[in-house]
Amino acid sequence: MLITSAVLTDATGTRRGCARIENGVFTEFGETLEAREGEEVFDAHGKTLMPAFLDLHTHFRTPGFEYKETVETGSRAAARGGYTMVNCMANTKPVCSSAAIAQSVMDEAKRVGLCDVNQCVSITKDFDGETISHLRALPKNIRFISEDGKGVRSSKVMFDAMCTAAHKGLTVMSHAEDMDLSPIDYRLAENLETARNLYIAQSTGARLHMCHVSTKEALWDILEAKRRGVNVTFEVTPHHIWFCHNEFRVNPPIREEEDVNELIRAMLEDKVDAIATDHAPHSPEDKAKGAPGCVGLETAFSVCYTKLCREHGMKLETLSRMMSKTPAEVLGVKKGLFEAGYDGDAVLVDTEETYTVDPDDFAGKSHNTPYGGMELTGRVLATIKAGRFTYRDSRI
């Protein structure tokens, strides 16, 4: 594929020009490039082309909860939102506590062919809060472990898990929530477990990734840990920078205005590693019963572009770093930049178009979104994975 007449924007800068993809990878960039015989030519008509997005935190609900989402419907949602890779959590049924279950999910994603999937394995076997012996048997292609949906109660279990992770080169993804404190104080629950896990990571040398950071105190502790040399990265979700004083149930909860302001300030100062959606599909019945979470893959770019770039003046290059470059580095894949040899994954966006979010138009199976009826600016027009379209707006 040859993409012409584009505004090429990645974390390193912006220029006008063309991009060539051969055998699934970018091979050439230039102000003008001549089409070769048999090459598909896509005219971007001056729209903005960015490296496709990667989501560090996704729930595709397979196995066991396919009535909420499947690998196929989740992949469609990802493609519609400009994503070509997602990192799926282990809170499935059965819990993803083995390489076999993880591999089955990744194989299904390959069969669907719309989005690469990395599948996490649970920190404790079947989320029992105690057993970590399964971690020692994980093969090298399993690189992330997470208890997402709840925190690991025992500090000793978490210490032992991080020791194993450091030895095997695993990344520990932390859902920071002290489950004993959650019924009393959600803020304290996040803050205390954040601090605990940062100190355990410092002691063990494990690679730690903090999920959906939502309080100013947790943010401050992570930034201070980075200054101490702790091997930690972290993500912020679109809904935690958009809403405050909102009753839509997510976990961690929507926080206060001062938390939102601190998260945005850190983003504007280029201190936040990644934006991750925590895409959490639910059926209407489950959501009505109080299931926490919202779908986010199809609205993430628009929400972040509207809030950060339009309202706060963030450069699009900075947004690209948080949605593409750094997530790719955390996942250890050659994506997220416009460089020769990197995967030929890109997303075409219209940074001027304003539209109203219609959940009935979503490509995913579930419609539990807090953005329904809202006006957002910045729309995904096409998604390209390895040189072929996985999503293309009918207008282009």
Residues belonging to the active site: 278
- At 16, phi and psi to the nearest 5? -90, 145
Beta bridge partners, 13, equal 10
Q: How far, in Å, CA of 314 to CA of 308, rounded?
A: 5
Residues contacting 202, CB < 8 A, separation 6+: 225, 228, 229, 230
Q: How far, in Å, CA of 350 to CA of 56, rounded?
A: 24
Beta bridge partners, 343, equal 25
Three-class DSSP category at 233: strand
- At 338, phi and psi to the nearest 5? -90, 85
Rama region for 201: left / alpha / beta (φ>0; ψ in -120 to 50; rest): alpha
Q: How far, in Å, CA of 370 to CA of 304, rounded?
A: 14
Residues contacting 394, CB < 8 A, separation 6+: none
Rounded to the nearest 10°, the torsion over CA 305, 311, 314, 317 is 20
Which uninterrupted H or E stretch holds 351?
Answer: strand 346-356
- The DSSP bridge pattern shows strands 53-58 and 48-51 to be unpaired
Q: Where are the alpha helices (DSSP H) in the chain?
A: 71-80, 99-112, 155-168, 186-204, 216-228, 238-242, 257-268, 284-288, 300-304, 316-320, 326-331
Question: Among all chains, which residue has been given the structure tokens 């809403």?
Answer: 243
Q: How many CA atoms lie within 13 A of 60 on its CB side?
A: 30
Beta bridge partners, 4, equal 43
Q: Both tokens of residue 13?
A: 């800068």
**Which one, of 378, 297, 346, lies nearest residue 75 by Cα?**
297
